[in-house]
Amino acid sequence: MSNNHGYKLYQGNEACVEGALDAGMRFFAGYPITPSTEIAEISSQKLPKVGGKFIQMEDELSSMAAIIGGSLAGVKSMTATSGPGFSLMQENIGYASIAEVPCVVVDVQRGGPSTGMPTSPAQGDVMQAKWGTHGDHPAIALTPNSVQETYEYTIKAFNIAEKYRTPVILLMDETVGHMREKLKLKASSEIEVVDRKKPSCSPKEYVAYRPDEDMIPPMASFGEGYRYHVTGLTHDETGFPTNSNEISGKLIHRIVDKVEKNIDDISFFEEYKMEDAEIVIVAFGGTSRAVKSAVDEMREKNIKVGMFRPITIWPFLEKQISKVADKAKEIYVAEMNLGQYFIEVDRIAGKKCHVNKINKVTGELFTPKEITDAVTGGRL
């Protein structure tokens, strides 16, 4: 796809579009909102050049609806938004979950609640990315911390969505979305692109929601001759609504299990100076950049500190956090919210060591000093 194999200066939001295009995105529907708007703007500019389609919808409700429609037509689809729009999208994120329609939803987080701080970084949508839509459902959210990672994990987000037939959230934050740094685009031969599994049977034999052994049903596109039914109601294997309590329960278990039981396949994280770390700071996204500097500074003073950085925010990396807690004497969870990811870390690690919070909701990125102060009690 890309001819440029060298480094170039890119913004996070730009890198997101490049990744999406390299993953095969050919449909984007969205609504302008700071700080994600560049993703829509660049998509509108680039999609027609690769034969794809862009549409600016009337709101985020219909943006989410439109990308589900696009995906059902067989075209890889994405939308991008920020907190207020992410709230509106929750309705049809639930639809995509139960109807098992692959798509990618980018949320470039800003200060909330409500209109909050439109141009300021925050990480207050961690729980919304998991529980924003009602009912039990699978949740996959990836959080990059650099421009390069934004590019790479946008590609991964599409691949995971296609493989597991489910919406994937790319949970960025304003810092990562608007920062500019070097990006190395990949040559198309270096990019792994996963496409959804198609039915191999004839339309007559097709049972639209009958899963294979991997718990995922093959997906036909509308217009290919497999005339099937899609609904947001709980349904049986044929795709038609059911009143059976047993079948309804089984469906919810399956759509959750197909993700949870494959967690190792979608667990991404970074361990930084963790080998002998007695103090571990858990941080992700923009925050992790400040934490990394703080770790370096504290290491210079011979403090045995490291960083565990989840890139997969959801499903929660229970196994990895548990392992971290086995070795650590103390864990700090630094995040630009009042302790959303902390709840999960504490749930697992709290039984084994002390877990502390480092929080900031002023609409500013952490400084490394704030992190070192929190960890050393200002003694550094």
Q: Which amino acid is at 370?
A: E
With the C-alpha atoms ordered 344, 319, 254, 26, is the resulting torsion angle positive or negative?
positive
Nearer to another protein, 137 or 289 (CB): 137
Region at 114 (left for phi over 0; alpha for psi -120 to 50; beta for the rest): left
C-beta of 96 vs 277, nearer to another protein: 96
C-alpha dihedral over 36, 39, 45, 46, to 10 degrees? 180
Give me the least distance between CB of 70 and another protein, in Å please: 4
Cα 237 vs. chain centroid, distance in angstroms?
Answer: 28
Q: Are 360 and 144 in contact (CB under 8 A)?
A: no
Compute the least distance from the CB of residue 250 to another protein, in Å.
20
Nearer to another protein, 235 or 360 (CB): 235
For residue 310, the number of C-alpha atoms closer than 13 Å in the C-beta half-sphere is 27
d(CA 366, CA 69): 40
How far apart are CB 7 and another protein at their closest, in Å?
A: 15
Q: Which residues bind another protein (CB under 8 A)?
A: 1-4, 21, 26-27, 29, 46, 48-51, 53, 55, 57-59, 61-75, 77, 91-92, 95, 221-225, 227-233, 240-241
Q: Least CB distance from residue 272 to another protein, whole Å?
A: 34
173, 176, 301 from 122: Cα distances, Å: 6, 11, 30
Distance in Å, CB of 290 to another protein, minimum = 33
Contact (CB, 8 A) for 53 and 44:
no
Instruction: Pick the closer one to another protein by CB: 223 or 354.
Output: 223
User: Beta 305-310 vs 269-272: how paired, if at all?
Assistant: antiparallel
Q: Which is nearer to another protein, 238 or 376 (CB)?
A: 238
Q: Residue 101 or 349: which CB sits closer to another protein?
A: 101
Nearest distance from residue 244's CB to another protein, in Å? Answer: 16
Shortest spacing between CB 104 and another protein, in angstroms: 14
Residue 310 bridge partners (DSSP):
269
Report strand pairing: 279-282 vs 53-56. unpaired
Report in angstroms how near the CB of residue 20 gets to another protein at its nearest.
12
Q: Which one, 27 or 308, has the nearer CB to another protein?
A: 27
Q: Which residue, 227 or 347, has its beta carbon nearer to another protein?
A: 227
CA distance 189 to 1: 9
CB of 49 or CB of 379, closer to another protein:
49
Contacts of 288 (CB under 8 A, 6+ apart): 145, 270, 307, 309
CB 1 within 8 A of CB 22: yes
Tell me the C-alpha distance between 28 and 46, whole Å: 11
The CB-of-353 to another protein minimum distance in angstroms stands at 44
Q: How far is the CB of 91 from another protein (least distance, A)?
A: 6
Task: CB nearer to another protein: give 95 or 316.
Answer: 95
Three-state secondary structure of 96-154 = HHHHCCCEEEEEEEEECCCCCEEEEECCCCHHHHHHCCCCCCCCCEECCCCHHHHHHHH
